[in-house]
Amino acid sequence: MSATLPPLHLAVALDGAGWHPASWREPQARPHDLFTADYWAGAVAEAERGLLDFVTFEDALGLQSSHPTEPDTRTDQVRGRLDAVLIAARVAPLTHHIGLVPTVIATHTEPFHISKAIATLDYVSAGRAGVRVQISAKAHEAAHFGRRTFPRFGIQELDAPAVRDVTAELFEEAADYIEVARRLWDSWEDDAEIRDVATGRFIDRDKLHYIDFEGKHFSVKGPSITPRPPQGQPVVSALAHRSVPFQLVAHSADIGYVTARDADQARAVVAEIRAAQEAAGRAEEPLHVFGDLVVFLDDDPTAAATRLARLNVLAGYEYTSDAKIFTGTPIQLSDFLRELQQAGLSGFRLRPGVIGSDLPAITRGLVPELQRRGAFRRAYEAVTLRGLLGLTRPANRYANANIGPSEPEGTVGP
């Protein structure tokens, strides 16, 4: 590996036929297969072929839209999706090394349900589960649940005081959501299951713990109904664009995805997250900051740019993204990733513009180029996602609790 820079971590973000809204019209797109298990299994198998650390699965609680905050009426773009957690669980037994990280929407789901779903995914995958926590302030998505309402706003109003207050509250809720999930993952000690047929004891009830979480947004007794996951704590990640979500990443996550456009911006973002991490008392804990990029790759840089332009014509508008849109060759992308890594990023989550063509370009073009430079692994060196990311298996917070002899505080009695 490089003498000056550590090896990179690489992930891909899977979303339908690809991140460009016209991607489904490409010859490699397989639009008839988008709602089949075989499609997703094939995409993840390709990512695993490239030795990537993990894949993320996009999800939402409303239909895709060409409008960033409202539904639309277009019929010429992909609409509809499968549940991300269930996709991950379906492909887990078909893979062996790659991490599986579904997106969950904290705003309209319960941490108890999601904690056991992700714990189950960790069992099904033998320790390769993670989760990407996302919020939603969209009024039309809230209407699906009827439990809360949000004001309608446009993308140009994101910095309006009322909208900032709403999103700040939702990110605060997401922090509590993650804390509840983490406590529930710890609510069973590692050796709580005895499984002794001779004595008829399956579990040690003294090693199941109430979490007794009382916060502004949740009141959760616990314990979980699922034993502690194989990783102890599945990997928690979140996408962050500005200071409030930077705080969530610094306080609660193992990985933060950021959308820096160049090395200077990456350096500033990393500095802000590291300062927030120190303020949260986590300075000694590993925290990855990954850069997000939308990629259109070809051996000829002109061909990559031409393909993007052709897709824009099909869509009827110029595709824009919260993340930088990169067009070029795998060699050019390797150069750019190493430049951003020098600014403090430890890895990258690449969003293939068209999964059918850009995912293989990542695994069969970019990865070999990074390997040639000594910047990426040549074999999987760990069996869990935490291991691939260099994260240790955390101790159980309740295992050494000072508890009384009768009805122990924090435990579930007989």
Alpha-carbon dihedral sign for residues 88, 89, 95, 99: positive
How do residues 346-355 score in pLDDT, each as one tens digit? 999 999 999 9
Is residue 130 over pLDDT 70? yes
- Per-residue pLDDT for 159 more than 90? no
240: its two tokens: 């962050």
CA gap 106, 403 in Å, rounded: 32
Mean pLDDT, rounded, for 383-402: 92
Q: Which helix (DSSP H) or strand (DSSP E) does residue 170 occupy?
A: helix 161-186
Instruction: Band the pLDDT of 154: cuts 50, 70, 90.
Output: confident
Stretch 3-25: mean pLDDT: 94
Q: Is the pLDDT of residue 413 over 90?
A: no
- 3-state class (DSSP) for residue 107: helix
Q: 145: pLDDT confidence band, cut at 50, 70 and 90?
A: very high
Q: 1 or 292, which is more confident?
A: 292
According to the model, what pLDDT value does residue 401 have?
A: 67
DSSP 201-256: EEE-GGGB----EE-SS-EE----SSPPPTTSS-EEEEEE-SHHHHHHHHHH-SEE
**Residue 100 gets which letter from DSSP?**
E
- Ranges of H-type helices in 343-394: 355-361, 367-372, 385-388
In tens, the pLDDT along 46-71 reads 999 999 999 999 999 999 999 888 99
The predicted pLDDT at position 224 comes to: 98
The conformation of residue 392, written as its DSSP 8-state character, comes to P
**Residue that the structure tokens 């007989």 belong to:** 414
Residue 150's pLDDT band (cuts 50, 70, 90): confident
Q: Is the pLDDT of residue 409 over 70?
A: no
CA angle, 361 then 44 then 67, to 5°: 80
Q: Is the pLDDT of residue 380 over 90?
A: yes
pLDDT in tens, 33-49: 999 999 999 999 999 99
Closest CA to 353 of 300, 307, 301, 289: 307
Confidence label for 164 from pLDDT (cuts 50, 70 and 90): confident
| pLDDT of 12 strictly over 60 | yes
Q: Where are the alpha helices (DSSP H) in 103-142?
A: 111-124, 139-142
> pLDDT at position 407, please?
39
The pLDDT score that the predictor gives to residue 411 is: 53
Tell me how crowded residue 271 is: count the other CB atoms within 10 A of its CB: 12
- Predicted pLDDT of residue 138: 87
> What's the pLDDT band for 412 if we cut at 50, 70, 90?
low
- In the prediction, which pLDDT does 405 show? 31
* CA–CA dist 277, 249 (Å, integer): 8
d(CA 156, CA 330) in angstroms, rounded, equals 35
Give the pLDDT confidence of 252-306 residue by residue, as tens digits: 999 999 999 999 999 999 999 999 999 999 999 999 999 999 999 999 999 999 9
Would the pLDDT of 157 be above 70?
Answer: yes
Mean pLDDT of 373-385: 97
* Cβ contact 294:324 at 8 Å: yes
Instruction: Tell how strand 235-240 and strand 219-220 pair up.
Output: unpaired
Arithmetic mean of pLDDT, 178-189: 98
| β-bridge partners, 349 | 11, 292
Give percent of the chain with pLDDT exceeding 90.
87
In 3D space, the residue among 122, 99, 121, 1 whose CA is nearest the CA of residue 47 turns out to be 99
Which tens digits make up the pLDDT trace of 201-255?
999 999 999 999 999 999 999 999 999 999 999 999 999 999 999 999 999 999 9
Q: Does residue 365 surpass a pLDDT of 50? A: yes
Q: List the domains of the chain with CATH numbers.
A: 9-388 (3.20.20.30)
Q: What is the mean pLDDT of the chain?
A: 94
pTM of the full structure = 0.94
Q: Give the residue-averaged pLDDT of 308-334.
A: 97
Q: For residue 360, what pLDDT band results from cuts at 50, 70 and 90? A: very high
